[in-house]
Amino acid sequence: MDALAEIVNPFPPPPIQYNRYTQQNLDLLALLRERSSTTVHEDLRKSQHAVLSDQADVPEWNLTELERPRADWIIEEGGYNTFGDRWPVRFLKLWSTHDQ
């Protein structure tokens, strides 16, 4: 066996966005939500540095990217986008033996 041969993982590494889910960033998001009166993501992105001006290491990217997706929006739109890919969602009624 060649000593220079690499062992290659068959699975790709996770997207770089996963590195953003640190406790510090999640705490900043909670503080942003606590201090802000709006729930609109765009408004929070524009004002996050002003709202968190007394905090250290506020990232340049939008902290609301760390929030969980809204299931009601996913159902309404019939799918969701993640890391540049569109994922359709189909909902099937599941029958139980009690329905018959």
Q: How do the residues of the chain divide into helix, strand and coil, expressed in percent and rounded to 5?
A: 45, 10, 50
- Counting residues of the chain whose pLDDT is more than 90, the rounded percentage is 21
Q: What is the pLDDT of residue 40?
A: 60
Q: What is the pLDDT of residue 5?
A: 57
Q: What is the pLDDT of residue 82?
A: 78
Over residues 50-62, the mean pLDDT reads 91
Give the CA-trace dihedral at 39, 43, 48, 53, to 10 degrees: -110
Distance set, CA 33 to CA 22, 38, 58, 82 (Å): 17, 8, 14, 23
Read off the pTM. 0.61
